[in-house]
Structure 1
C-alpha cells in the first residue's frame, strides 16, 4: 500500500492544481461535446464556415448555458473540436468549461435518472482526477515512446476507451489506492495469495498444463514450501486446498469482509504476499510480472465500478475459460490463411473460481456479488518475439502525450516507411484476420485497443495478438457444433446486427480515431486512410472467392450502417451496460452513419 498519502495527506491532492484542472476540464468537455454529438444526443448548430472548419453553437435546452466552438466533421460523423476554441456562456456571461457542470446542465438531454446521477458524477470526477495526475507527473514524450519498452508504453497511456466520456471511473478506489493500483501510477504490486478449500473452489486448465506445473512455474519451490508450512501450522492438509492470487484491494475491501464466514471456517486462508512484483495493465485488473517478465499474466477479480461494469470475474465462466481458449487457439492455428497472416491469441491457460454459497443462495439473478473471487493466468507474449522486435498495446495508436503530440505519427516516422505503406502493413496485421474470423468462422472478438497487442519490427506492425478471450468473444451462430464446455461461445444475434461487430467495434470505435489522428497530424489525409481500409477489404475478398455469398449477405461496402451508441449504453445503466449472455438485447441505436468505404465498393 502507498503510505505516502497517509503520512502526508496533502499528497492525495497535490496534482489538483488550478491550471491543470482547467486544462483537463477543457479536454473532457471537448470529448463530451464530440462524443455526445456523435451519438446524436447533442445537435450543434453551424454558424459559419472557414474552409474545412465550422463555427458551431450548442444551446443547452432550458439551462441558460451555451457552448461555442470551432470544429471539423470527419468521416463517421467524428467531431474534431479545437479545445482552445470552446467558449461556455452561462446566463450571458462567459464561464470556464466545467465537465461536472456540463453533465448537470445536460441531465435531461442525456436522460440521466436521479438514482444514477450521483454515480455518474463520481465517475466524471474520478476521470478528471486521473487526467490531472497524468498531466502532472513526468512522462515519456510521444517520440520517446517509439523507443520505450513494452511496459513503459503500457503505463504511459493518457486516455481510456476513446468513445466513453466517463472512462476512468474506478469507483471503489480511494486516493491511496489510485497511486498503488492505477496503471498510470506504475507502482509495483505484490499479489496476495490465498489457500481456498476444494469444496468451494474449482481449478481448470488447458490440456497441456497441470495445476502442479502451474504452481511450480509461477511460485517456485521455496514459496510453495512456505505456504505448505503455513497450512500445516494451522493443522490443515494442504492437499485439501488450491492456491490462488487476489488483488490486494480485493482482499482488504471485499474478501476479508464479504467472505468472512469462509475465512473463519478456514475455507479461505490468507498466506500473505507473493514474492514477485507486478504492474497493472490498461485493463486495471490484469497484472504483468516485472520481477520475472517471462511469467504469465495474472488477472484477478476487482469489485470496482469502471465504465459500465463491476470488474469481477465469474467462477462459472472461469470453469470453461481454458477450454474455450484452447479451442479458439487450435481453430485459428488450423486455418491456413490465419496461420500465414501470423494472427494469434494469448490463451487464458488456467483459472480458479471460488463460490460464496450465501450470495448464491440469497440472490437468484446474475450479480457482481457472485463474481468477487476468481483468477486466471494468461500466456505471456514475450516468447513470440524475435531479435529486433517489440510489443506495444494497440491503444497506443491513439495516444496523445501531455504536450498534445500524437504517438502514431512519430511511430510511422521512426519506421522508415511512408504513412500509406505503414497503414497497409497495420491493416494486414489487424483488420485482415478479423475479417477472416468473421466471414470464414462466424468468430468475433472485442478488438479495441486495450484488448490487442501489436508485434512490431523496426516499428512496423508484423502481427496482431488478441487477448481477453473467454469473456469477450463469440460465435455468431447459435447452431454451431462446438465441443463440450465451449458451447457458451455460440450466441444468437439478429441477422442485421452481426455486421456491427466490424462496423461498430472496428470502424466506429477504433478506425474513426486512427483516421482522425492521421489527418489532424498531417500524416495521412482521412480519405487516404479509408481508401486503404477499403483496399484491405477488397484484397481479402479477392483472396477468398468461396465466401462471396457471405460478403454479399454482410456487406462491408453498404452505403450506411446503424450507429450503435456506447455512451447511451452507459448512461442507461452505469452498473451493468450489457448482459454478456445476450449482448445484443441492450444495444442502443441512433440512426445511421455513412460508410466511409462505400465509395470503393467493387463494381
Structure 2
C-alpha cells in the first residue's frame, strides 16, 4: 500500500503530465457520451453501413459549430453504450482536434441543461474528477490480477472510478491539492483523527441498547488515551463528566469547526484534545475511516463539509440521534427472517453516534441546511469479526473496477475462483440479489445497495454473502403505515406506488447489473444474454420459494416489459448542491422515457 502526502508544492501537480491528461480526458469523454446518451440527454447519430459485427460507427455533432465527435460503439442491454475509447475522435472542420472533457461540457451545455448558476461548480467537479483520475492512472497501483489476492484495504484504496453512473463523481469541492494527498481514499495516506471534548448541554450521545458510552470509549480509545484526555480537561479546570468525547476529520477541524464554531471553542463548549493514537484509512465514501492500527475496532464516520456528487457530505445531529436505534431494529429484523438468516445476509450496525448543535445556525436558519450538519460522528461495526479462516472481504465496487491497463477485475476474480462464470455468478446473485428481493417483497424494506455500500465476504474468491453498510441515511420502509418502535418511525416513507419497484430496477439493474453485464460480455467471460438469463433465474427461484408473496410479485412485476428510466446525471446537472431531499427522495427524481427490461423474455410461462 502506497502512502502519498504532498509535502512539496511540485508533488501536488506531479501527475498532471500531457500523456496522462490526454488518457484521462479520453476515458472521461467516453463515460460522458455513454452516460449522457443513456439518459437521452445526447443522441448520437448512427452512420449507416459503417461498422463491423455488433459495433457501429456514430457521430455526435457539436451544436452551432462545424465540429463533431466520432466513435465506434455497440448498444447493450438497458441501452448501455459500450464505446471503444481508442476510436473516439473530435473533428473540427474535418480535422482532428484534442479531446477535452471540460470543453465538451461547455459545447453541450444547452443539451445538458446546465444552468449558469450550476455551471462553475460542475466544471470544478469535472476538473477535480480529471485531477483524481490522472493521479490514479499515474500511480504504481495493483493490477487486476494482483487485486484478486490483495487484502481488504488494498482493494479499497485501489478503486479507480467511483460511482459508475455519475460523470462528475470525484468533485470533492473544498479539498485543496494537499488535502487530496492527505485524505483521498486512493492516496492511501494513514491519518489520525482529532478528538474533541464537547459539552453535554450542546451534544447528544445515542447508542444501541447494549452499548454504553463508557464501554464505547474504553473499546475505541483505551485507558491510556482516556486518562491523557482527562488530564487535559482537568488542567483547564474543567469537569470531564460534563463532556462527551467525539472524533472529527482533521480537515473539518481546521476548515470548519475551529472557525464556524469559534464561539463554542472560546466558551469551552468544545475543547480540542489533539490527535488520537490510532491510524485510519479513508474509505471510498471519503468521510468513513477504517482503523488500520487495530482493525477489530469500529469504523468512524465523520461530518465532512465538502461538496461531492450532489451533496455536502455532512452528518445531521438529528439523524444521529435515531441512527443506532434504526440500525439495531433493522439488524434484529433481518436476523429474525429465516430466509435472510440462512442466506447469511447481514448489516454492519452503526452502533453509536454523537451530534453537536450550533445554536447560532439553529436559531438563524429555519430551513434544512448543510450548516446544521457540520459536527457529528458515528461508529460502525467492523466486518473483520465475521471472517472465518481462509475468507476475505472486498468492496462490491471492485466488481466494476478496471485497472490502469484496461483490465477488469471481475473476470480475473472469476478466473481465480476455480468456478466457471455462470456458477460464480449464481453464487453472487444468491448472496446479493436474493436478500434484496426478499427485503423488498417480504418487508417493504429497501437499501441503497450500490457497490460502495456493500462488502462481499468471499472464500476462494467466491461470494459467500453480502454485508450491507451505511444504513440509517440510506434505507427505508416503503409503507407509511408500518408500525415501528419509537425512534425508528422515520424509516417509513410514502413513495408513489409506481416508483417503488424502481428501488430494484434502477438501483440494482440499471446502476449495477448494467455494468457487470457489460464487463462480462466485453471481456468474453459471459455473453450478456446469459448474464441476464441468470439474473432472471435468480428472481424465478426466489419467487418459487415464496409462493405466499405471489400477489406482491404480480403487483411489483420484475418481469414487466419495460420500466421507467431514472436519470442520476440529470439530477446532478439540475442541482449539484443538493440533488434530492433525503426526507422525500422521490419528489426530485428525474425521468426520461423507459428502458426495455432485459429479464422480461425469461418470465415464467
After TM superposition, the score normalised by the length of structure 2 is 0.99
Given that residues 172 and 305 in structure 1 are in contact (C-alpha distance below 8 angstroms), is that contact kept between their aligned partners in structure 2?
A: yes
Aligned partner of 1:222 among 217, 221, 224: 224
Given that residues 195 and 241 in structure 1 are in contact (C-alpha distance below 8 angstroms), is that contact kept between their aligned partners in structure 2?
A: yes
Distance in 1 between the 2:573 and 2:93 partners?
Answer: 27
Give matches, 1:100-111, under 5 Å. Answer: 100-111=102-113
Alignment correspondent of 1:77: 79
Distance in 2 between the 1:354 and 1:240 partners?
Answer: 14
Given that residues 66 and 88 in structure 1 are in contact (C-alpha distance below 8 angstroms), is that contact kept between their aligned partners in structure 2?
A: yes
Given that residues 45 and 59 in structure 2 are in contact (C-alpha distance below 8 angstroms), is that contact kept between their aligned partners in structure 1?
A: yes
Alignment correspondent of 1:22: 22
Distance in 2 between the 1:60 and 1:294 partners?
Answer: 54
Distance in 1 between the 2:452 and 2:577 partners?
Answer: 21
Given that residues 42 and 111 in structure 2 are in contact (C-alpha distance below 8 angstroms), is that contact kept between their aligned partners in structure 1?
A: yes
Given that residues 3 and 176 in structure 1 are in contact (C-alpha distance below 8 angstroms), is that contact kept between their aligned partners in structure 2?
A: no
Alignment correspondent of 1:362: 364
Q: Which runs of 5+ in 1 are unaligned?
A: none
Distance in 2 between the 1:556 and 1:5 partners?
Answer: 49
Aligned partner of 1:380 among 374, 379, 382: 382
**Cα deviations by residue, 1:470-526 (Å, 9 ceiling, x for unpaired):** 000000000000000000000000000000000000000000000000001000000
Distance in 1 between the 2:91 and 2:233 partners?
Answer: 65
Alignment correspondent of 2:41: 41
Alignment correspondent of 2:583: 581
**Cα deviations by residue, 1:235-294 (Å, 9 ceiling, x for unpaired):** 100000000000000000000010000000000000000000000000000000000011
Aligned partner of 1:185 among 181, 184, 187: 187
Distance in 1 between the 2:295 and 2:548 partners?
Answer: 43
TM-aligned CA deviation for residue 97 of structure 1: 1.1
Give matches, 1:306-455, under 5 Å. Answer: 306-455=308-457
**Cα deviations by residue, 1:195-218 (Å, 9 ceiling, x for unpaired):** 000000000000010000000000
Aligned partner of 1:270 among 256, 269, 272: 272
Q: Is it true that 1:12 corresponds to 2:12 in the alignment?
A: yes
SS in 1 for 2:588: coil
Alignment correspondent of 1:158: 160
Distance in 2 between the 1:176 and 1:64 partners?
Answer: 41
Aligned partner of 1:526 among 515, 525, 528: 528
Aligned partner of 2:237 among 224, 235, 238: 235
Point out the more displaced range, 346-355 or 86-95. Answer: 86-95
Q: Which runs of 4+ in 1 moved over 3 A?
A: 2-6
Aligned partner of 1:115 among 117, 128, 140: 117
SS in 1 for 2:587: coil
Alignment RMSD (CA, Å) = 0.9
TM-aligned CA deviation for residue 3 of structure 1: 10
**Cα deviations by residue, 1:418-452 (Å, 9 ceiling, x for unpaired):** 00000000000000000000000000000000000
Distance in 1 between the 2:44 and 2:289 partners?
Answer: 42
Distance in 2 between the 1:492 and 1:165 partners?
Answer: 30
Alignment correspondent of 1:127: 129
Distance in 2 between the 1:111 and 1:86 partners?
Answer: 24
Distance in 1 between the 2:124 and 2:67 partners?
Answer: 22
Distance in 2 between the 1:5 and 1:341 partners?
Answer: 45
Distance in 1 between the 2:521 and 2:325 partners?
Answer: 43
TM-aligned CA deviation for residue 49 of structure 1: 3.4
Distance in 1 between the 2:68 and 2:346 partners?
Answer: 49
After TM superposition, the score normalised by the length of structure 1 is 0.99
TM-aligned CA deviation for residue 90 of structure 1: 2.6
Q: Which runs of 5+ in 2 are unaligned?
A: none
Given that residues 65 and 105 in structure 1 are in contact (C-alpha distance below 8 angstroms), is that contact kept between their aligned partners in structure 2?
A: no
Equivalent pairs, count = 601
Specify whether residues 599 and 464 from structure 1 end up closer, same or farther in structure 2 by C-alpha distance, changes over 3 A only. Answer: same
Distance in 2 between the 1:95 and 1:506 partners?
Answer: 38
Aligned partner of 2:574 among 564, 572, 576: 572
Distance in 2 between the 1:5 and 1:463 partners?
Answer: 39
Specify whether residues 387 and 592 from structure 1 end up closer, same or farther in structure 2 by C-alpha distance, changes over 3 A only. Answer: same
Alignment correspondent of 2:508: 506
Distance in 1 between the 2:229 and 2:389 partners?
Answer: 38
Distance in 2 between the 1:66 and 1:491 partners?
Answer: 46
Aligned partner of 1:251 among 250, 253, 267: 253
Q: Is it true that 1:203 corresponds to 2:205 in the alignment?
A: yes
SS in 2 for 1:599: helix
**Cα deviations by residue, 1:532-585 (Å, 9 ceiling, x for unpaired):** 000000000000000000000000000000000000000000000000000000
